Structure 1
């Protein structure tokens, strides 16, 4: 049965650059046929739903290849610190939040999204800021990168942290007198996350659904998400099962499972859930491993010292031997591995570990990937390509990070940063993600950044390191073909062709004919998942379908 026909459009199939059709027929949630209006409309049956696209541009539904789906939704109900410019502003917002949303017994005050690099005085907030918000409740302020945060004394007490505490792979900052100043980095901060009271399953499901609705409004139909920072695995699974039972899964989830050490990974593997396990709405994706921190926090692990912090190379979460052990176990067990690695030191550790595992288990082709891969010269990129390791890049980072990369790394290493075009040139597969809630979920913003290498004010002139700009087709591919390949779905998603899932995004303008400077202004008018509309821009006055 032909359930729906979408016709009279410019439907870019992404099979190759420029390839398009004007109509598609949908059956069983998949593309039955793609071709001309005449060919496809001839397939219509009595109850076929017809949608006149009125010439609109259509692309495959977007895939966000790395984000934090549940955390994005949870942050919508937390203390929003995005855009603050001072310690005082954090305190004012924090106190107002507590007054408006008095915490229940045992509840924490969690703030997210501050970036000290944009402060008038760019210094990380310390324990005095958190204490000024509240001494009654646990206060946890999370920097936008998620790799450094600030807590009050109540949190330090709950964690059992004191001046003598040492955390492997983490840092507890101290003041000039050798006392903890409330600033925590990497593993020291990760432990705090595990102490935060876990939201119940209903709250997780509501948060996930909020994020899915936002994602659908941006044309996203698939998301690769790391949710285990928000809740334990069983709670995450239960929340998605609840959404499935309600028919509310409007994105296809590829779950990135954080299991940082061998004992945890062994326990997870006993579930017999290897990469790809699941159904059309939820699948187990990769084992997610954090190998370093962030550039903004100076915790990304570098091969050389930071230019603006001599003696500091960042934080290596693993020794090479410890990383090798985790990767070998995951690899031989059939698990794709995804490595958060921003600095070139961390990227080098990861490629060494994968090379070693693949040499021992030659039959395994698991499409391991580096998440972020921001600082990596051509030598490392060539090794990644040779090992079949892809990259989940966040093009929006070029807009937000460009002002600080030179000061952090110096001019020479700045040339080896965010090398998206070089990745393609050496043969790597790359997918596009947002890292939401760090950046907006909007793929059209990411595509604009990838194509122009400019910020929201269209600066710098000519783009930041313009030789690394992508073509529009390459940039759209990040969020379609690239993301699909990362999850072994290149014959299921990322293209509009017979047999593929009927996941599509209808745009307000033709992205391939729009001035690149205006790509970020394009909006999504319809999002279609499995042939059914899951988002419509104007519900009261449908523009397209009747």
Structure 2
């Protein structure tokens, strides 16, 4: 018999220490709840007071009624005529990547490759990471290439991600560090991963910066697609720590059935009321801006190119079967109509599962009817219309463009939640709602607000206790006055 080495015993000891730590944390949470005071939220815009008991809403009513229920020791929170709303819940974003954008070189305002170079030269990090460029906004109307980044500095690694995050450009030093090479330095989809691994050492700082930004925007819950094959064991403790300030729900990018089982077994150790695990996520295609979204017909502005599927249907079937067997929800990133049709075909063979599709941008009438018939969770980003309105007809043609971005129709006929895919777009719920209401065939204000609260709670399986201002629901509340977020309460506690 082979004897267990020191590394194995060390791993077992780490596991035991983590179990004891979790038990200690549970005791601390239980003890803290025993001593929590009641809070009266008063002076709201509609005149109703709200009684919060611990981390839940106990009652809503007249000031006199709520004061009599609260008792003399209750804390009083005067919100100065702010509107009290259920906390905004972004149904799809990237928390760590948001922090990377905030702490790195922002390229979203660059109007030329020369401007990109100037911004990069101002960054003095040992590994320069730029995010947000879009060739459609550049004077040159092309993607930056290796030679452009080498002109900034050939010796320091530089990686610049397109705003969609499905494409990046690397300089010579970055490619040498990652052990990869392409003459133009342009990488797409999974080929980007080796070039981004050097950023792992800054993960904790990036996550906390992302949390700060989300809270400032009025978000109380974020459904994030950050965990994936290769990083989840390292990142789970960091996200559990971050969830003490904001509610975090994971959409997990793992499609291998064996690794899915491993993840579920180990992730339970990190689960709390504010740190939860939702669907496994697959990719059906790429991005519209990069012309990698999979269309049923060739791109109108690039004949011969229909984009590309990320998974064969047989592979997709195996993945969904594994989710079904493990009793887990499933979602797919699908932008192009061919990709959406492929996902729906697989979903039809697995009735009774909780199933969702992210993005849902290029649709026809048959797809819309299928979404209604299957009641698929539609997890959409209306704020995408801000940039995509300038390219959608060029990419897919006038006829297909007319039935695309049909988010208002989805809100009336299927289950819709709103998100931003931040940092693709900023995670500002109020801005997203403005685009949801103003886009052609958009949502009503009531539909948009419902989709951002109740709809997103439904998407994460928490509609029983999240997304409403009602007795028994979790006290996740955002306060808004004159179009500005004035305060955020998460789990019964005001955030700084």
State the TM-score, normalized to the length of structure 2.
0.88
Please name the residue that 2:363 is paired with.
Answer: 376
Question: Structure 2 residue aligned with 1:340, among 330, 333, 344?
Answer: 333
Please name the residue that 1:476 is paired with.
Answer: 449
Please name the residue that 1:130 is paired with.
Answer: 149
Please name the residue that 1:493 is paired with.
Answer: 466
User: How far off is 1:400 after superposition?
Assistant: 1.5
Structure 1 residues 130 and 230: alpha-carbon distance in aligned structure 2, compared to 1, 3 A threshold: farther
User: How far off is 1:473 after superposition?
Assistant: 0.5
Please name the residue that 1:234 is paired with.
Answer: 233
Q: How far apart are the structure 2 equivalents of 1:470 and 1:204?
A: 36
Q: How far apart are the structure 2 equivalents of 1:155 and 1:272?
A: 33
Question: Structure 1 residue aligned with 2:307, among 314, 317, 321?
Answer: 314
Please name the residue that 1:38 is paired with.
Answer: 64
Please name the residue that 1:7 is paired with.
Answer: 42
Please name the residue that 1:221 is paired with.
Answer: 220
What do the CA deviations read for 1:49-75 (whole angstroms, capped 9, x no partner)? Answer: 112334321110110111101111122
Q: How far apart are the structure 1 equivalents of 2:111 and 2:86?
A: 39
- What is the number of equivalent residue pairs in this alignment? 461
Runs (5+) with no aligned partner, structure 2: 1-35
Q: How far apart are the structure 2 equivalents of 1:154 and 1:229?
A: 26
Query: What does residue range 41-60 of structure 1 map to in structure 2 within 5 Å?
Result: 41-60=67-86
Please name the residue that 2:160 is paired with.
Answer: 141
Query: What does residue range 29-108 of structure 1 map to in structure 2 within 5 Å?
Result: 29-97=55-123, 100-101=124-125, 103=126, 108=127
Structure 1 residue 531 corresponds to structure 2 residue 492: yes
User: How far off is 1:231 after superposition?
Assistant: 7.4
Q: Which has the higher helix share?
A: 2
Is contact 2:128–2:159 with CA below 8 Å preserved after alignment? yes
Question: Structure 1 residue aligned with 2:138, among 107, 110, 119?
Answer: 119
Structure 1 residues 529 and 270: alpha-carbon distance in aligned structure 2, compared to 1, 3 A threshold: closer
Is contact 1:90–1:129 with CA below 8 Å preserved after alignment? no
Please name the residue that 1:268 is paired with.
Answer: 263
Is contact 2:106–2:131 with CA below 8 Å preserved after alignment? yes
Q: How far apart are the structure 1 equivalents of 2:411 and 2:51?
A: 33
What do the CA deviations read for 1:342-370 (whole angstroms, capped 9, x no partner)? Answer: 11111111111222233xxxxx432x211
Is contact 2:82–2:486 with CA below 8 Å preserved after alignment? no
Q: How far apart are the structure 2 equivalents of 1:533 and 1:357?
A: 42
Is contact 1:493–1:501 with CA below 8 Å preserved after alignment? yes
Structure 1 residues 318 and 115: alpha-carbon distance in aligned structure 2, compared to 1, 3 A threshold: same
Structure 1 residues 356 and 365: alpha-carbon distance in aligned structure 2, compared to 1, 3 A threshold: closer
Please name the residue that 1:401 is paired with.
Answer: 388
User: How far off is 1:280 after superposition?
Assistant: 1.4
What do the CA deviations read for 1:476-512 (whole angstroms, capped 9, x no partner)? Answer: 1121111100111111111100000111111113xxx
User: How far off is 1:263 after superposition?
Assistant: 5.0
Q: How far apart are the structure 2 equivalents of 1:115 and 1:49?
A: 49
Question: Structure 1 residue aligned with 2:184, among 181, 185, 193?
Answer: 181
Is contact 2:81–2:481 with CA below 8 Å preserved after alignment? no
Question: Structure 2 residue aligned with 1:325, among 318, 329, 337?
Answer: 318
Is contact 1:378–1:422 with CA below 8 Å preserved after alignment? no
User: How far off is 1:326 after superposition?
Assistant: 1.1
Runs (5+) with no aligned partner, structure 1: 12-20, 164-179, 359-363, 454-464, 510-521, 536-546
What do the CA deviations read for 1:217-255 (whole angstroms, capped 9, x no partner)? Answer: 2211000011236971122111133446xxxx2210001
Please name the residue that 2:16 is paired with.
Answer: none
Is contact 2:229–2:253 with CA below 8 Å preserved after alignment? no
Question: Structure 2 residue aligned with 1:297, among 290, 294, 298?
Answer: 290
Please name the residue that 2:476 is paired with.
Answer: 503
User: How far off is 1:424 after superposition?
Assistant: 2.3
Is contact 1:137–1:154 with CA below 8 Å preserved after alignment? yes
Structure 1 residues 232 and 288: alpha-carbon distance in aligned structure 2, compared to 1, 3 A threshold: same
Structure 1 residues 241 and 273: alpha-carbon distance in aligned structure 2, compared to 1, 3 A threshold: closer
227-236 vs 438-447, which moves further: 227-236
User: How far off is 1:135 after superposition?
Assistant: 2.1
Structure 1 residue 451 corresponds to structure 2 residue 463: no
User: How far off is 1:22 after superposition?
Assistant: 0.8
Please name the residue that 2:13 is paired with.
Answer: none
Please name the residue that 2:30 is paired with.
Answer: none
Q: How far apart are the structure 1 equivalents of 2:415 and 2:194?
A: 33
Is contact 1:320–1:353 with CA below 8 Å preserved after alignment? yes
Is contact 1:57–1:507 with CA below 8 Å preserved after alignment? yes
User: How far off is 1:187 after superposition?
Assistant: 2.4
Q: How far apart are the structure 2 equivalents of 1:234 and 1:281?
A: 19
Q: How far apart are the structure 2 equivalents of 1:263 and 1:310?
A: 40
Q: How far apart are the structure 2 equivalents of 1:242 and 1:66?
A: 20
SS at match of 2:350: helix
State the TM-score, normalized to the length of structure 1.
0.80
Please name the residue that 2:344 is paired with.
Answer: 351
What do the CA deviations read for 1:244-269 (whole angstroms, capped 9, x no partner)? Answer: 6xxxx221000111114445435434
Please name the residue that 1:174 is paired with.
Answer: none
Structure 1 residues 229 and 126: alpha-carbon distance in aligned structure 2, compared to 1, 3 A threshold: farther
SS at match of 2:369: helix
Structure 1 residues 344 and 402: alpha-carbon distance in aligned structure 2, compared to 1, 3 A threshold: same
Q: How far apart are the structure 1 equivalents of 2:338 and 2:195?
A: 26
Is contact 2:229–2:254 with CA below 8 Å preserved after alignment? no
Q: How far apart are the structure 1 equivalents of 2:97 and 2:266?
A: 24
Is contact 1:5–1:24 with CA below 8 Å preserved after alignment? yes
